[in-house]
Structure 1
Amino acid sequence: MDVATLVGAAATLASTTSFLPQAWKVIRTRDTAAISAGMYAVTVVGFALWLTYGLLLGALPLIVTNGICLALSAFILVMKLLPRQQKVAVAETLDPLS
């Protein structure tokens, strides 16, 4: 593997996993008070645009990376926007032991 591929793989790993701690915290605590809905809305739009760009180019690395990031950031945004009762129901479905 060349250096560019290794750097790209590391960037993909960092980008796609960066939302996991926040998503897991939302599931475990059901608390989204400190999360900025505006920031996540812009992030979701950005990932949707990057995903679209990747699809238009047929660039699999862009498609996979931004598809995963879009799904995770959209989940966090939806959890932020849901009423408390629905947020708890989603979290209990995903982590019934909490």
Structure 2
Amino acid sequence: MTVYMLRCADGSFYVGSTKQEIEARVWEHNNLPVDGYTAKRRPVSLVFTESYERITDAIARERQIKGWSRKKKEALIALSYDALPGLSRRSHLTR
């Protein structure tokens, strides 16, 4: 199972998960006539992936990332894992 993040043409991010090959899933986001978040924000480009053995782990990670701020998502894309704790909403509330 793959958790992925796309950058949309409008600069926003889309977070999803899939069992299929990631290239095929990105192609679907860019080409299928399906109503959804990315349909009106094409083209999209793949900016991040993580793989999981268990579906439950992938779904939990997808939900976690969806709740993150834009800055935190950008740090994840840049693989700046050390910056993530400082960008959490809880961390900002206690400052």
Fold shared by both chains (TM-score > 0.5): no
Point out which structure has higher relative CO (alpha carbons under 8 A, 6+ apart): 1
Larger Rg: 1
Could you say which structure has the higher helix fraction? Answer: 1
TM-score calculated relative to the size of structure 1: 0.33
TM-score calculated relative to the size of structure 2: 0.34
